[in-house]
Amino acid sequence: MGFEIGTASAAEVTMMAEWAAAEGWNPGVTDAQAFAVADPRGFLIGRLDGEPVTSISVIGYGDAFGFLGMYIARPDVRGKGLGFQTWRAGMERMTGRVVALDGVVAQQENYRRSGFGPAWTNIRYEGAPATASPPAGVRLVDARDIPFDRLAAYDRRFFGAPRDAFLAAWVSLPARSARVALRGDEIVGFSVLRDAPAASRLGPVFTDDAAIASALASALAEDLGATSVAVDVPGVNPRAVAWAQAQGWAPSFETARMYTGEPPRIDTDGLFGITSLELG
């Protein structure tokens, strides 16, 4: 049979998330279910004699943007060129789009050679969530109670492309909690916390106010009974880095946001934590 690359099944998308967990990326325990609806044809599996050995996700958002992730070769087949074949198949699917990824340090030079340029560094901070109340005039509500068009518009401000199917799943799946901060009727913050094999994963964290970020993290941790959280903080927002450090959280993991072309315009001042290393 040899080596063949094809679209992953739903079960194989779950397997890809398990591979990501084995690499130390610590995805949420139900994240794969949100991944699968984002772009069902955007998950590729390389099969050697019918057995899955490589993976990549290449998710199309809108008509002009895409996000690459879950680029993994099983340890026993590394160095054989199978991963690179899978990479080329994924990038072919992204033809005509600006593509982004969050690349681990060991692969960043390879990504540069493939046409990706660095935009900023993400540092994962981990630690115990502090108790914090929202600022005066701000209340926190369940994100599922917000009219979805308003939530999606707020999300797009920080991500730069529509991702409605993914977002709907992201806020409503089990083993997670999602909160929105409101000042009057205005959305001024949004975050999700998901159970994960190690520290519970916080992402996104969207707000222009560090006090609101702290209140969201506190409320979400209380919702899930989380004693340790982890958030990937973009270095492009110094206030976000200062916020994570002020929580007493320790850096544990590093990636770089990289693009093949002009990045979408986003509100980086309100980007306190990215949503997912796998899907952006």
Q: Is the model more confident about 24 or about 86?
A: 86
What class has domain 3-119? Answer: alpha beta
Q: What is the pTM of this model?
A: 0.95
Percent of the chain beyond pLDDT 70? 100
Pairwise CA distance, residues 192 & 212, whole Å: 13
Q: Could you tell me the two tokens for 107?
A: 């692969």
Asked if CATH classification 3.40.630.90 holds for the domain at 125-273, the reply, yes or no, is yes
Residue owning tokens 């369940």: 142
Apex 10 CA angle, 254 and 190, nearest 5: 50
Q: What is the mean pLDDT of residues 170-182?
A: 98
Spell out a b/e string for 173-190, using b for 16 or more CB atoms within 10 Å of the CB, else e: beebbbbbbbbeeebbbb
> What pLDDT is stored for residue 1 in this prediction?
72
Locate the domains of the chain by residue range: 3-119, 125-273
Q: How confident is the model at residue 87 (pLDDT cuts 50, 70, 90)?
A: very high
Q: Report whether pLDDT(16) > 80.
A: yes
Apex 213 CA angle, 235 and 233, nearest 5: 20
> What pLDDT is stored for residue 225 in this prediction?
97
Write the pLDDT tens digit of every residue in 49-85. 999 999 999 999 988 999 999 999 999 999 999 999 9
> What pLDDT is stored for residue 24 in this prediction?
85
Write the pLDDT tens digit of every residue in 124-150. 999 999 999 999 999 999 999 999 999
Which range (23-27, 122-126, 131-135, 254-258) has the least confidence?
23-27
What are the DSSP calls for 86-137, one per residue? HHHHHHHHTTTSEEEEEEEGGGHHHHHHTT-EEEEEEEEEEEPPPP-PPPTT
Same topology, domains 3-119 and 125-273? Answer is: yes
**Nearest-10 crossing angle of helices 238-246, 210-224:** 50
Q: Report whether pLDDT(197) > 90.
A: yes
Q: How confident is the model at residue 86 (pLDDT cuts 50, 70, 90)?
A: very high
